[in-house]
Amino acid sequence: MIGLTGISYKTSPVEVREQFSLSKEEIIPFSELLQKETEISDIVVLSTCNRTEIYFSQDKYDFQLAAKLVYKTLKHFKGIENKYWHSFYSYENDDAVKHLFEVASGIDSMIIGEDQIIGQIKEAYLFCTEAALTDAVLMRLFQKSFEAGKRVRTETRIKMGATSVSSAAVQKCSALFEDLAAKKVLMIGAGETGGLVLQNLYKNGITKITVTNRTEEKARKLAERHHCTVLPFDQVPSHLYLYDIVIVATGSKVSLVTRTMIEQALTERKGGSQVYIDISVPRNIEENVEGLEAARLFTIDDLQEIVNANMEKRKGSIDAANEIINEIVAEFSEWLASRSLRPAIKAITYNMLKVTKEELSLYNNINSEETQHAIKEFSNHLTQKYTRLFIKNLKEMTSNGKRTESLKLVNELFSIGNE
């Protein structure tokens, strides 16, 4: 049986989730405690800022008990006394498989279609596999999750458009300039948002970038990381005219780029227009800049409209994503069910051959060599025919291994080898 016990951004706030987070260094000690207390030894632990999920494979307990035991062991391991069971979700078999495929595909993410989660799943799977914590079922399950994630991202439009203000800023620039890679960009601000903007600029082939910040050391570190040039902050007014695009992302409480500064820059450009993008809160570019004909100003609200529109487009891909996921869930379910038939098929084949061999031995001493050969040929033919028939009927009556009650009956019926 495949099971899942987890907690995510959908069921609890960060102050609860962080209590159950498992670092890479904690996974093996946790698995050892889980095996000691429950005898559940086959697991994959997926722990990110948005979720902690424990996937497990076991046949010792019924599902509800297994899920509760995993939760209690996690609480014990983390030293948590408060009750949080209401914040956890648990799924078994096909439901657990479907959930993992949804996570891998990005449709269960806070930002629909994001790519980071698939890398996190692969890392979690590889770590647990290398630590000998996964069985054949979990290995197959996670390999199929990678297939689901890849197909959803390539066969649907779930990755369409920017889903953050920083990426929306670059998307807006791409829409405004056909030759974006040739444009010069000034990035005012060296914080987290500024760093994300630079990442997106480089992804779009823009390399003529200058960074400036009131704390020059921060600007220098960011510039070194992204191979940009640095402009001293006090030189921004006199150098503003050099740039086609100016992006501002700082925590300043006052405007850093004024209408007077932009008017001077436009004069020195002698007719060349400029694009200004302000993603600061509060705004760092004076509002009255919007009245300048050669300067186009976009604020965080303009970019949020792009993000919201893109999110709606991505949501429109969820139905198509679910069709792919359901198809791969069915494939995995079929594979998993067929595994349960292997002992019965092995027993049928073994016992049929055993009976044939024992019965043939009775004739070896009373017949000629030619007669013995003929009897052996016929017996083998008959054995193979009935073995195939038994196996065919076995698959039909157990729905290829899914009807476990019928499977138990078959296992009992062909346990004649023990007599």
Which residues are identified as catalytic?
A: 49
The reply to whether 32 sits in an annotated binding site is no
Q: Is 82 annotated as a binding residue?
A: no
Q: What angle do CA 385, 387, 391 make, to 5 degrees?
A: 120
Q: Is 250 annotated as a binding residue?
A: no
Q: Is 157 annotated as a binding residue?
A: no
Annotated ligand binding at 119? The verdict is no
8 A C-beta contact, residue 279 and residue 300: yes
Q: Is 114 annotated to bind ligand?
A: yes
193 is known to lie in a ligand binding site: yes
Does 372 appear as a known binding residue? no
DSSP for 132-198, written as a single string: T---HHHHHHHHHHHHHHHHHHHHSSTT-S--SHHHHHHHHHHHH-TTGGG--EEEE--SHHHHHHH
191 labeled binding residue: yes
Q: Is 48 annotated among the ligand-binding residues?
A: yes
Of 210, 224, 113, the closest CA to residue 161 belongs to 113
Q: What is the DSSP letter of 285?
A: B
- The answer to whether the annotation marks 115 as part of a ligand binding site is yes
Residue 51 annotated as part of some ligand binding site: yes
By three-state DSSP, how is residue 69 classified? helix
Those residues with Cβ within 8 angstroms of residue 99's Cβ, 6 or more apart along the chain or in another chain: 4, 91, 108
Burial class, 83, CB count within 10 angstroms (exposed 0-12 / middle 13-18 / buried 19+): exposed
The interaxial angle of helices 116-130 and 136-155, nearest 10 deg, is: 160
| DSSP-derived secondary structure for 377-406 | HHHHHHHHHHHHHHHHHHHHHTTTTT-HHH
Cis amide leading into 237 (omega within 30): no
First to last CA, the chain: 30
- Cα 409 from chain centroid (whole Å): 40
Residue 174 assigned ligand-binding role: no
Q: Phi then psi for 61, rounded to 5 degrees?
A: -115, 160
Q: Which two tokens stand for residue 213?
A: 């910040």
Q: Which residue numbers belong to the known binding site?
A: 48-51, 109, 114-116, 120, 189-194
Q: Which residue numbers belong to the known binding site for NADP(+)?
A: 189-194
Q: Which residue numbers belong to the known binding site for substrate?
A: 48-51, 109, 114-116, 120
